[in-house]
Structure 1
Amino acid sequence: MIETLQDIGLFASLDQHQLDSLARHIGRRKLARGETLFDAGTPARTFFLLRTGHIKLFMLSRQGGEKVMNIVAPGDTFAEGVAFMEHPVYPVGAEALEASEVWTVDAAVFRSLLLESPVACLALLGRQTRRIQGLLAEIEAQTLEGAHYRLIAYLLAQAQSDRSLELPASKTVIAAHLAIKPETLSRLLGELQRRGLVQVHARSVHLLDIPGLRTLAAAPTLHT
């Protein structure tokens, strides 16, 4: 567990003694597909590290519509903001998209460790600043850019070194994350495939022409 924590950006600045203390307050929880980890608005005493599977973070509108805020991948922490709330509650809901395992981290213990370490606090501030910048970029893309652009940007961000990616969720969930309709997502993927830019098989996507994708994303017609 200690070796795993050392590789996670949120905990990398903690020293060995702090990691030992933190590890004593970490639990494990397994989730079945579709199982709720927490609901928006419920009291929060822990945050999480995803070990396996994928977790959907989402909000519901007053009309019952779902907005997928993020799809958490293995190795990512989430809900850590509750460690700094005066009256901590989860601001979003979390649901397992497949069989998953999470480690639960005691938020109060983590906060007390940060109070002992200015270095760890500064590292955390830097991490959270980068995350906020990423969220601002995503908001900008969803409000100012077209669906075609958002899809291409998502594929480029998710692709691995071999230009391949596995969609972490169903196309319905991915579409909700990108703020487009599922049928629009399917149509756009089909169009990219017909252009010879990607190859799609079920959830597997291979980027055949990254320069072509970037050129297409930069086209003025995609930003309207």
Structure 2
Amino acid sequence: MSFNTSIPVGRSGSATDAMSRPRRAGVVSRSAPTTPLSGFDRARLRQSPVLSGLPADIFEQLLAECRILVLGRDAPLFEQGEPAEDLQIVLEGRIALIGRTPDRRTCILALIGPAEGMVDPAALIRGPHAIGARTVEASRVACLPAALALQALDSGSAFGRGALGSLAQHWQLFLRRLADQKLRSAPQRLASYLAECAVDSARPGGAPQRESGQPQPVRFVLAEDRRTLASHLGMTPENLSRVIGQLRQHGVELNGRAVTIADLDALRHFGCVATEP
């Protein structure tokens, strides 16, 4: 998951623009198509930071009321100001959390993937969503009723520890992205993001190894379009185009969503990306 704090204006055709359209009444996710809980879903939920420590009986009670949403690309999950009736956990795909001002300016605040716990913890305080959420790519999302989640919170410390851990992860990443906005230039922010995507695309082996001391090119495809990427990194689409041009001298080529990085270590160095232990 990653955060930023800038607010570029959303435009037609982007995930940010979609959030500026008039709100529909009711909770958006209630009308989304659903699918039965699969063995994969059960395993992914059991591994979730929020649910992993639950006793088996409470875990099964939650799963009995769980809905699995099947959402296409750029589909709404919930909208800003709606009551938070569910606790959502991403099983597949990615979700963009989007802020909106009264004059309908929008920006992407975070991208949430399968390994990152709760989409929005507002359900734990039964408050409204302070932000909206849409899919960046085709996604499957588990929705647990807020009332049951609160019962699990009251029943013992395991769920509380999981929820607290997820919130702590959100907070750490928020601080890191805030530091990015303050300390890194726009080219460095893009370099850092592409380097992270490159490593993620090479999982489980991580970043590719050098052969005979020579860097190996890394190729992958971005999930998001350029407007979404620009909003996520705190840029306008026009500024992103200029930054992409600047990264060519650092061995980066973007052709649509296809990315080629000639030397990942050099790009990480330019983006001031810390080396993983």
Give me the CA root mean square deviation: 2.2
The aligned counterpart of 1:184 is: 239
- The alpha carbon displacement at 1:148 in A equals 1.3
Change (3 A) 1:72 1:130: closer
Secondary structure of the residue that 2:88 maps to in structure 1? strand
Equivalent residue of 2:192, what SS? Answer: helix
Q: Which residue of 1 aligns with 2:58?
A: 18
The alpha carbon displacement at 1:80 in A equals 4.1
Question: Which whole-Å deviations, capped at 9, do the CAs of 1:14-47 have from their partners, x for residues lacking one?
Answer: 1211211110110122233333221101111102
Task: Please say if residues 200 and 206 of structure 1, whose CA atoms lie closer than 8 Å, have aligned partners that are also in contact.
Answer: yes
Query: Would the alpha carbon gap of residues 156 and 62 (structure 1) be closer, same or farther in structure 2, given more than 3 Å must change?
Result: same
How far apart in 1 are the matches of 2:46 and 2:121?
A: 20
Tell me the TM-score normalised to structure 2 length.
0.70
**Conserved 8 A contact 2:99-2:106:** yes
- Counting only pairs closer than 5 Å after superposition, residues 210-221 of structure 1 correspond to structure 2 as 210-218=264-272
Give aligned-pair identity as a percent. Answer: 25
Aligned to 2:149: 110
- Cα distance, 1:174 vs structure 2: 0.8
TM-score normalised by length of structure 1: 0.84
Aligned length: 216
Give the structure 1 partner of residue 261 of structure 2.
207
- Describe the SS at the equivalent of 2:48: coil
Q: Secondary structure at the residue paired with 1:184?
A: helix
Higher RCO, 1 vs 2 (CA within 8 Å, ≥6 residues apart): 2
Residue aligning to 1:66: 106
> Does 2:229 correspond to 1:167?
no
- Number of the residue aligned with 2:82: 42
Match of 1:221 in 2: none
1:115 partner letter: D
Q: For the structure 1 residues 72 and 98, does the alpha-carbon distance in structure 2 shift closer, same or farther, using more than 3 Å as the test?
A: same
- 8 Å Cα contact 2:80/2:130 also seen in 1: yes
Aligned to 1:94: 133
The letter for the 1-side match of 2:240 is: L
Letter of the 2:102 partner, please give it: R
Aligned partners of 1:2 and 1:19 also within 8 Å:
no
Q: Are residues 123 and 33 of structure 1, via their aligned partners in 2, closer, same or farther at CA, if it must alter by over 3 Å?
A: closer
In structure 2, the gaps of 5 or more residues are 1-40, 201-205, 209-217, 273-277
Contact 2:83 2:127 in 1 (8 A): yes
Q: Shift of residue 109 of structure 1?
A: 0.8
**Aligned mates of 1:56, 1:107 — CA distance in 2:** 21
Q: 1:135 is matched with which residue?
A: 174
- Counterparts of 2:95 and 2:42, CA distance in 1: 23
Partner-residue secondary structure (3-state), 1:139: helix
Shift of 1:133: 1.2
Cα shift at 1:214: 2.9
